[in-house]
Amino acid sequence: MKTRFRLRGLFVALIAASQILSAQWRAPYPGSIASSFVACGSDLFIGTLGTGVFLSRDGGKSWEPKSAGLSDRHVYALAALDNNLLAGTGDGIFWSRDNAEHWACVSQQVKGIGTLLATKTGLYAGNSVGLFVSTDVGRTWKNTALKTCVLKIMNMGTKLFVGTNNGVFTGTIGDTTWSNAGLATGSVVSLAVSETTVFAGVERVGVFHSADSGKSWTRYEFDDVPSLEPVIHPSGNSRLGMVCLIDRPMEPVVAVMGSVAFASPWRGVCRSTDGGRNWTLPCLTFKSRILQLWAFGKTLFASTIGEGIYRSTDSGTTWKATNVGFSLQNVRTLATSGRVILAGSDAGVYRSTDHGEGWFPANTGLNTPSIRCSTRFGRRIYLGTDKGIFCSTDTGMAWRAASSGLESLRVNSLAVSGRLLLAGTDSGLFSSSTPGTRWTRLAFDGVPVSALATSGEMLVAGSGRGDIDVSHNGGKTWTRTNFIEKKPGLVNALVFSAEGLCVCTSEAGLFRSSDGGQNWNAVDTALSDQPVQCLTASETNLFAWAPPTQKHFGCILLSTDAGRTWHPVECPWRFVWTMVVFESDLLFGTAEGVKMTSLQSISSLPSRFLYREP
């Protein structure tokens, strides 16, 4: 992803969030970070950092992608003008006349748009060089003579308030004369207006309000919440209330809905009913940082990094994830078939046909959202879930149960050996010779099978107890190896390489066997005796992922010699459940969704970068 400009304050926070990944990484999952919000009638629209625009027709309960025609899917600003929707991106202004069904670039005269405001007489756009106005729905633009970095713009009737890196400026709609309204001590990263009051958020200073149209300002005090310096960010629609963003390391946010204020100084949401003088403790603690809050009517939305969007309809007392069609977390398995990618998660299956640019729910026929594993058998794709196995013959468009004999079992691993389909469950290993029609127990009665690998007639099974068993006759007989002596913990994954067998474990790291699994040697990864979560192979290259511990950061482990030696590779993701090679890319199923990087771009890092400072 490329950033074409730099702004301070709120816009910098959004750009920084989009740059959590280095240039070599891509995050092709919808809605990983929501950056902008607008309402058009009863429809809600959200712009995201990297995956375009999403529409909700049910008050934010579910979302659907609406990005057809957007050449730049980093949408930093949205506005609604008459029957038109407008999106501000790094490539210019895009518009849609059909409720976001199709987008077209209306102008590249003004690029790097960070804020938009639609009025009855024109459209205003701000970027790092100034404020621009259009009277023909964005086709042509004129400079308004305000030539400074514009961070936010709002209006109160015909009066305009512009937040810049040099304070607040005021003007009148249709005029090009500007007056400095104060707060020049810092960057005014956000503005919001009520019927009689203007709110301004100043970077690293705090929140101010003015009851006399900007002639004088009073700073809010938040004594009950230490170090809370909220910055108000308006939603861009008079019905949406106001939102605050703090330019601090954790960037807390605040929103106001009616007479109630909400603040997120950490990862939770606090509430105030007296104008911000006193705050309650967080109603809910989120796992991820809250980037923004939006209010729409009596509904409050929280945009997070890593958990998608949450929604509250009771003034922030309770929250519910609202990520259907929008955001996907905990992708535990990935399957590919031709140009189709399927992502199985804790929230069901998602399907992409455009190399991960757009994703759509693909759960027809499934009776559970908890997807554990997957495999492809010819043209069929099989899913292992917490309630048996499901099969699709049309690349995930529809699913049917394929669990006769193990309907009530959780399936942890799937593999194919010749004409035999194998399923590792919490109660042993099962096989089906009529792909998924009928299952029979093959081995390990009552023992959880956590990982499977096959190579011809050779089958290898790893258990949750740390055992590894090998069969050389298609599963008729099994031999237990001495792997348990390594005290490995859970066997997370097994992979055949060009020169042997590799295994990753939950407690003891990576091991390798060159004699069919009879003897095992620990692999020196610079992370000895550390957990390794997942493992995949591509020709002579092997990829593993080591989760973060108290001693080191999470990283990818790369081997280019069939597993003999390994090198650490930088990985920005919080947790990686699975990896798979797809064409020239390496796909990651992570806690934040589906991510990818080019195989050619993966480079080694010195091991000193892995360890946390004491």
pLDDT tens across 83-129, in order?
A: 789 999 888 889 899 999 999 988 888 888 888 888 888 888 888 88
Rounded Cα–Cα distance for residues 604 and 567 (Å): 6
- Asked if residues 146 and 162 have their Cβ atoms less than 8 Å apart, the reply is yes
List Cβ neighbours of 371 (8 Å cut-off, separation of 6 or more).
332, 333, 344, 345, 346, 348, 349, 383, 384, 385
Helix H or strand E encompassing 461: strand 458-463
Distance CA 211, CA 200 (A): 12
Residue at 393 is within a domain = no
Say whether both 124 and 242 belong to one domain.
Answer: no
Same domain, 134 and 270: no
Is the same domain home to 130 and 31?
Answer: yes
Residue 608 pLDDT level (bands cut at 50, 70, 90): low
Q: Could you tell me if 137 and 36 lie in one domain?
A: yes
- Residues 114 and 2 grouped into a single domain: yes
Tell me the β-bridge partners of 192: 199
Q: What is the pLDDT of residue 529?
A: 67
Beta strand extents in 71-186 (DSSP E only): 75-81, 84-89, 92-96, 104-107, 115-118, 123-127, 130-134, 142-143, 150-156, 159-164, 167-172, 179-180
- Indicate the residue among 282, 301, 324 that finishes a domain: 324
**Confidence (pLDDT) at 66:** 86
In a domain, 589, yes or no: yes
pLDDT for res 278:
65
Q: Is residue 505 part of a domain?
A: yes
**Type and span of the H or E element at 594:** strand 593-598
Q: Is the pLDDT of residue 74 over 70?
A: yes
Q: Which helix (H) or strand (E) element contains residue 445?
A: none
pLDDT at 252 (0 to 100): 38
Q: Are residues 137 and 258 in the same domain?
A: no
Cα–Cα distance, 64 to 58 (Å, whole number): 11
HSE-CB for 59 with a 13 A CA cutoff: 9
If one counts every other C-beta atom within 10 angstroms of the C-beta of residue 280, the result is 15
Per residue in 284-342, pLDDT (tens digit) is 566 666 777 788 888 888 887 656 788 888 888 888 877 666 666 688 999 999 999 99
Q: What sign for the dihedral angle of Cα 395, 400, 405, 406?
A: positive
The CATH number that applies at residue 114 is 2.130.10.10
Alpha carbon distance 589, 202 (integer Å):
38
Distance CA 315, CA 511 (A): 52
Model confidence band, residue 212 (pLDDT cutoffs 50, 70, 90): confident
In a domain, 581, yes or no: yes
pLDDT beyond 90 at 148: no
- The domain total for the chain is 3
Q: What was the pLDDT predicted at 78?
A: 92
Instruction: Read off the pLDDT of residues 340-395 as tens digits, 9 standing for 90 and up.
Output: 999 998 878 988 887 876 677 788 899 888 899 999 998 999 999 999 999 999 99
Neighbouring residues of 139: CB distance < 8 A, sequence distance ≥ 6: 106, 107
* Predicted local confidence at residue 411, as pLDDT: 96
pLDDT of the residue at 253: 58
* Average of per-residue pLDDT across 533-560: 86
574-599 core/surface letters (b: 16 or more CB in 10 A; e: else): bbbbbbbbbeebbbbbbbbbbbbbee
- Give the pLDDT score at 96: 92
Cβ–Cβ < 8 Å for 31, 10? no
Q: Concatenate the DSSP letters of all residues of 489-534 into one string.
A: -SEEEEEEETTEEEEEESSS-EEEESSTTSS-EE---SSTT----E
For residue 36, what are the β-bridge partners?
A: 47
Fill in the amino acid letter for 376: R
Three-class SS state of 102: coil
Q: Residue 279: give the domain boundaries.
A: 220-324
Q: With left for phi above 0 and alpha for psi between -120 and 50, is residue 427 left, alpha or beta?
A: alpha
Q: Which residue has the higher pLDDT, 334 or 188?
A: 334
Q: Which residues contact 473 (CB under 8 A, 6 or more apart)?
A: 457
Closest CA to 396 of 355, 354, 363: 363
From 324, 348, 376, the end of a domain falls on 324
pTM above 0.95, yes or no: no
Three-class SS state of 416: strand
d(CA 469, CA 243): 57
Question: How many CB atoms sit inside 10 A of residue 480's CB?
Answer: 11
CB atoms within 10 A of CB 470: 20
Percent of the chain with pLDDT strictly greater than 90: 20
Cα separation, 315 vs 90, whole angstroms: 35
pLDDT of residue 3 exceeding 60, the answer is no
For 245-271, write each residue's pLDDT tens digit.
Answer: 333 333 335 566 766 766 665 566 777
Nearest CA to 190 out of 236, 224, 148, 226 is that of: 236
Q: Which amino acid is at 336?
A: T
Domain boundary residue, one of 324, 356, 373:
324
Return the number of other C-beta atoms located less than 10 Å from residue 219's C-beta. Answer: 14
For residues 310, 316, 318 and 321, what is the CA-based torsion angle, rounded to 10 degrees? Answer: 0
pLDDT at 282: 58
Residue 562 included in any domain: yes
24 vs 182, residue with greater confidence? 182
DSSP at 484: G
Position 71, amino acid: S
pLDDT at 277: 59
Q: Is the pLDDT of residue 402 over 90?
A: yes
Mean pLDDT to the nearest integer, 25-33: 45
- Closest listed residue to residue 438, CA positions, set 396, 481, 488, 388: 388
Q: How confident is the model at residue 462 (pLDDT cuts 50, 70, 90)?
A: very high
Assess if residue 409 is contained within a domain. Answer: no
Output the pLDDT for position 421: 94
- Say what the pLDDT of residue 376 is: 93
Within a domain: residue 566? yes
With beta carbons less than 8 A apart as the criterion, state whether 28 and 595 touch: yes
Same domain assignment for residues 122 and 11 = yes
Would residue 601 count as lying in a domain? yes
pLDDT value, residue 16: 42
Q: Is the pLDDT of residue 236 over 50?
A: no
